[in-house]
Every structure is written in C-alpha cells, then in structure tokens.
Amino acid sequence: MADILTSREVADLFAVEEWRVRRIFESGDLPEPARFAGRRAIPRSMLPDIVDALRLHDWLPKREAAHA
C-alpha cells in the first residue's frame, strides 16, 4: 500500500462513497491534509483516525465487541 492516498483511494479501501471521506476533512472532524496536484495527499498514518471518524458518523459499522 502506498504511503500517501487520495480521497478516492481511501473511499475504495473502506468501501464508502468518496464524499464521505471528503466531508470528514471539510467539516473539521480531521485536519486537512496537504494537497498535491489539487488532491488531498492523505498519509497512511491517518487511516485509523479516518475509520474512527467514519464510525462516528455511522458511515462504517461499529466495531463488534469481542465475545467471551
């Protein structure tokens, strides 16, 4: 996996619509990443934060509790 991803690549990775990934940054849930050629250059290290933000908005399923 590349160290830098676009919004489209992140959306494809998590099987969500691209607008949902864009909205996380536009709404201020996460800080805007740098841009390259007009596209967000999202570092791979941001992926866990993106997952958390998508779950916060119910755009990804919540993590299931482990069964004892």
Our CA dihedral for 14, 26, 30, 9, rounded to 10 degrees, sits at 30
Tens digits of residue pLDDT in 23-40 = 999 999 999 999 999 999
- Using 50, 70 and 90 to split pLDDT, how confident is the model at 63? confident
How many domains is the chain partitioned into structurally?
1
- Is 62 within the bounds of a domain? no
Domain range holding 9? 4-56
Helices 18-26, 7-14: crossing angle, 10 deg rounding: 120
- Is 14 within the bounds of a domain? yes
- Is 50 within the bounds of a domain? yes
- Is 8 within the bounds of a domain? yes
- Is 63 within the bounds of a domain? no
User: Once rounded to an integer, what is the mean pLDDT over residues 7-17?
Assistant: 97
